[in-house]
Structure 1
């Protein structure tokens, strides 16, 4: 069953507000047939355009993932993609009334819990598996990711480093499977550095940020809630680096394959994650 493609057994809905624009949004997850993939449907637009969750439809990677097809765009999908990867869901239709995914609690657990309510079911076809045969590397300044061959499974390693500012460097490694992802990574929340706050305000973003769906790392290393600035309690001592792993998993799932290999990332964000996903997707297409 682990090698069979999966979808959900029944439709399930949720609603909320987008973290970046603060706009109200409703989504419905619906079962999809084998080999149909993951795609979003903008039901708020007259033509109900379909946007595939595929790295080739990337529009932007500034602080979040944007997908675009023709004039229709969707953003902030990385936590949903991570939840789908964690549950091994290959085929699903996601109707969305709005352009940004709901923030939930700022993690992938919010979406995992909703999808589990719909029950994950196996389909007939085999998963599209991509085994790393030789190193694949992407780099941008002092940030890098390399995909390496491994005997079996998927191992992800991440090093978080702000050049000695804010917090000490953190490194985390996880053998990826549903149990480990659900227990160790899925609930890690979005965070930002205090220096991002003014930047976001100038851009008119962060309107959906609450004290419950994110936290801020101050220059002196203190962890605070974003609005009240009162001390924030972390879900893990190293929640920051775990969330980076979460984003990496979601971004790489845009390659539309189940990866087998060792992913070693240092200081990477959505841009570099997506570049690796693009390289993998291109190689997989030629295989």
Structure 2
């Protein structure tokens, strides 16, 4: 593994609608100088403010990751951020013309594809490693979520989740090494239970959700009338 920082060899753009806003959006990934990290610029706002994509700027995690600084917000960044990290990009300026990244097909696959097409360029500065020397655990008592970080020679992840469903109850997945991200993780798609759609819409979310950018899970046999009702909610052509 290279010990030098990396950026993109050139720029690329992806266009589509926002999962939560339903807006038509374009996000552009650009090369960036050494030691700049990931920066997201809202080019649709006067002054084109920039938010550093760091944990301290995360302001919400309801159905997506939202960054915020002062009154500026940008959401649904998780697929793009994971692709940049997994593909070894340290520095990138991301410009978006709205309050969220486009959802595309609901996965990180297109981000990985574009990064591979444009290429990666090694820079002169050394990577700034964060070394885990002892166990770290963070819990969210409200949701029951827990992250445990352990020292290791390599980067690996094990994720476990549990849903109140007889079809998707307790599940786990492991990424042994980050080089497998493109094949094993990037194609994983956003999903939603039918029972959650109406509450999400009432919460002013998933206005851009449809069957092209999310997998909809039915937990029991349904009628054509119910299918038509779902299609109306998601504005899907029947």
Q: TM-score range by the shorter chain?
A: 0.7 to 0.9
Structure 1 CA distance, aligned partners of 2:86 and 2:213? 20
CA distance in 1, matches of 2:98, 2:57: 18
Partner secondary structure for residue 39 of structure 2: strand
**Structure number, greater radius of gyration:** 2
Deviation at 1:167, TM superposition (A): 2.0
Within 2, Cα distance between the matches of 1:147 and 1:6? 25
Say if 1:134 and 1:97 are closer, same or farther in 2 by CA, change over 3 A. same
Indicate conservation of the 8 Å contact 1:19/1:209, yes or no: yes
- State the Cα distance separating 1:206 from its structure 2 match: 1.2
RMSD: 2.2
Match of 1:116 in 2: 116
TM-score (norm 1): 0.73
Please report the TM-score for the alignment, with normalisation by the length of structure 2. 0.87
TM-superposition CA deviations, 1:31-79 (whole Å, max 9, x none): 1011011101111111110111111112211111111112221111011
What is the Cα deviation at residue 173 of structure 1?
1.2
Whether the aligned pair in 1 keeps the contact of 2:39 and 2:92 (CA below 8 Å) is: yes
SS in 2 for 1:129: coil
In 2, Cα distance between the equivalents of 1:227 and 1:215?
Answer: 13
Judge which range, 196-205 or 28-37, deviates more.
Answer: 196-205
Distance, in Å, in 2 between the alignment partners of 1:172 and 1:28 is 30
**Aligned partners of 1:103 and 1:164: how far apart in 2?**
25
Tell me, yes or no, if structure 1 residue 144 matches structure 2 residue 146: yes
Could you tell me whether the CA contact under 8 Å between 1:136 and 1:148 is conserved in 2?
yes
The CA distance in 2 between the partners of 1:65 and 1:119, in whole Å, is 26
Distance apart, 1:220 and its partner CA: 4.2
How many residues are matched?
225
Q: Answer yes or no: is the 8 Å Cα contact 1:12–1:117 preserved in 2.
A: no
Q: Pairwise mapping of residues 1-287 of structure 1 onto structure 2 (< 5 A)? A: 2-141=2-141, 142-150=144-152, 152-163=153-164, 165-178=166-179, 180-220=180-220, 227=231
Distance 1:90 1:227, change over 3 A: farther
- The answer as to whether partners of 1:5 and 1:125 remain within 8 angstroms in 2 is yes
Contact 2:165–2:219 (8 Å) recurs in 1? no
Contact 2:66–2:75 at 8 Å: present in 1 too?
yes
What SS does structure 2 have at the residue aligned with 1:15?
Answer: strand
**1:167·1:221 contact (CA, 8 Å) conserved in 2?**
no
The secondary structure found in structure 1 opposite 2:182 is helix
Unmatched 5+ residue regions in structure 2? 233-238
Long gaps (5+) in structure 1: 229-287
